Amino acid sequence: MTNQPPYEIEWRGHVVGSFEVTKVDMWYMSGQAQLLSTLEARAFSELASGLDLKLAHDDPTEKTRFFLRSDDSSVDALVLSLSDDGRLDLRGVYNREAVEWLRQHVR
């Protein structure tokens, strides 16, 4: 466990669940996602769990972006993987220019 607060997962303008960080390594985070029972959450789950990791690694526009929000912080992030048991792996994006590129090119 880390000292990270639990985050809300916001995707395409909708809160789709929560995320508790269990591991941090530089820009990468892993943890447990608890997705809501909404259409948007199901769409997020289907997209995130179906990503082709090789293609997404070679071309970031093949990933999907989302925001993690807590009372004290927010993080722009890219989904790396989402497993059937809710394990979510992501890459945080912190550089202002990179965040702007992400918002313009990655849905």
Q: What is the pLDDT of residues 26-50, one digit of tens each?
A: 888 999 999 999 999 999 999 999 8
To the nearest 5 percent, what fractions of the chain are helix, strand and coil? 30, 45, 30
pLDDT at residue 1 in the model:
53
Instruction: State the DSSP H helix or E strand holding residue 50, giving kind and residue range, or none if neither.
Output: none
pLDDT at residue number 85: 94
What the block records as the tokens of 93 is 């994006």
pLDDT of residue 27: 86
Q: Over the chain (107 residues), what is each successive 10-residue block's mean pLDDT?
A: 79 95 91 97 93 68 80 86 92 87 81
CB 10 within 8 A of CB 16: yes
Q: What local confidence, expressed as pLDDT, does residue 67 receive?
A: 84
